[in-house]
Each structure stands twice: as C-alpha cells, then as structure tokens.
Amino acid sequence: MKFRELIIVLFTVLFVQISNLELSAEDKYNRIVSLSPSITQSLYYLGVQDKIFGCTSYCQMAISDGKEIVSSAIKPNLEKIAAIKPDLVIASGFIQDRDIRTLRSLGIKVKIINTPKSFEEICEQFESLGELTGKIDKAREIVSKSRTRIRIIQKKRETQTYKPNIFIQIGASPVFTVIPGTFMNDYITFCGGNNIASNLKSGAVGTEFILSKDPDFIFVVTMGIAGNEEIKKWEMFKSLKAVKSKKIFVLESDIACQPTPLSFAETLEKIDKYISKK
C-alpha cells in the first residue's frame, strides 16, 4: 500500500472513531438531572436509572432509590443542580426560560421536552430519550409493544356502533377536563368514545356543563384529589346516566397523567375494560 493511500485509510478510521464517539450518547451522558416525573419514569423504563443524579419532588420511584431532589414541579434549585455537575439536564416545558438560560450559561447541556399532545408524540419523545441515553433499540422495542397493545383495543372498537360520551375529570377546584389537542384526549378516541368537551378550548368546566352533556362514563383522575370523594359528589346527581348505570371510575394520576408509551397503554387498557363492563 502506498504512503498516500495509507494516510487516507488512517484518517478514515480516525474520522469514524470520532463520529462514533460523538454519536454515542451512552458514553457522553452519564450524569442526568430530570426535571419532570414522566421523563424520570421513562429513564427507568429504558434501564438507565443509574445515570439519574437529580429529580423532582414528584419522582417517587427515583426518590425511593435515593436520588437527590433538585426541583419542584416548576422551580429547579439551580445551586443543587450545578453542584451535581450533570452533563445533561432534561426539562419539561413548565420550567421558566430564565432558569434554562442560567443552566446553559453554566455550560450545562439542557434538553427541553414539552408535554406531548398525542400518543404519537409520546412515542417520538420516548425514542428521542432512547437516542440521548444510548438506548434507542430498547426505546423502539417498548414503543412497538405499546403500539401493539393499543392496536388490539382500536381494532376491537372499529366495528362498534356505540360511541359512549365520556368525561375525564382531572381537577376538583375548579373542575378540569380533557380537551382535544392533548394526549389524554387520545384515551377517549382510541376507545371509540366521544369527548363531551370536544368543542372546548379550555379545560375548566362547571357542574352545569357536565350535567347538560350527561356523560355515559365519568373517569376521575386522582391528581391531588380524593377519587372516592369526587365519585360521591357526582352520585348526588341521580339523573346522570353515569350515575344510574354506575359507570364512574377512578384512574390513578401517576399512571394516567404520565406521558410514556407504557403508562399510556396501561391506562387505555383500564378504560377499555371499564367501558366493556356489563
């Protein structure tokens, strides 16, 4: 081999090695701070919990593992985060821009993942986390299995003529509900139902609105509220279809409100089971 050809080969090998080093997120990101419970949950699903060095006060699994709390739901403790010396902070869209700018000014890489608006976006974001952590194959496997679980329900509902009117309650004072353009709306449509709030642009609703829509099913998400207490409140309205047919159910917020492929599939299966109940 001529000297010139040898040099070309050596430079090619070096270039490939450098490229692989740059693209290997698993090697690059070994100290991660998660500023969102759903992101933390996703990191656990991907099997990279050992790379989590900071989390929010709502990341129960991480807290049980002894991970340091560095943030509330919306306000990070910048000093704590800086002291951890993370090579990656993954933040939700609820974190203030000024806090993001401060972290970046300290030389910390920040990846922002906004609340997904659909199941498809949940899957895209999950695979993005897989790329960041060097677990893309694992992420794709989880997404594929979750899609399969969901398709089973959708296929079953395709031929049904009955389209129940559904109300999902996600707040108590005031009452909030699921509206179109949110991933939780997909729970309703994937089960072949009609969202009673399909024409609303805001999730805040009054009792009169719910009574006028007279839903066939009411699902109460336990987000800081006592689910059974809310059920008792609705049961006072004896004329409601959902009350007469005893179709009021509780969904756990730590599953239903976590936008990950696995938690979405699990919640959808629960809703489908309740709808199928005789």
* Residues 149-172: b if buried by 16+ CB within 10 A, e if exposed: ebeebeeebeeeeeebbbbbbbbb
Rounded Cα distance, 28 and 55, in Å: 19
pLDDT confidence bin for 228, thresholds 50/70/90: confident
Average pLDDT taken over every residue of the chain: 89
Segment 156-170 mean pLDDT: 91
CA dist 58 → 135, 184, 263 (Å): 24, 20, 16
Give the tens place of pLDDT for each residue, 52-91: 999 999 999 999 999 999 999 889 999 999 999 999 999 9
pTM for the complete prediction? 0.86
Q: What is the pLDDT of residue 2?
A: 52
Q: What is the pLDDT of residue 17?
A: 46
Q: Which of 27-31, 69-73, 234-238 has the lowest mean pLDDT?
A: 27-31
What are the φ/ψ torsions at residue 205 (nearest 5 degrees)? Answer: -135, 160
Rounded Cα distance, 262 and 264, in Å: 5
Q: What is the pLDDT of residue 143?
A: 98
Which residues does residue 267 pair with via DSSP β-bridges, in sequence order? Answer: none
Which of the two residues, 21 and 273, has the higher pLDDT score?
A: 273
Q: What is the pLDDT of residue 278?
A: 67
pLDDT at 26 over 80: no
Is-contact 81 89, C-beta < 8 A?
yes
pLDDT at 133 over 60: yes
Domains and CATH numbers, the chain: 26-114 (3.40.50.1980), 159-276 (3.40.50.1980)
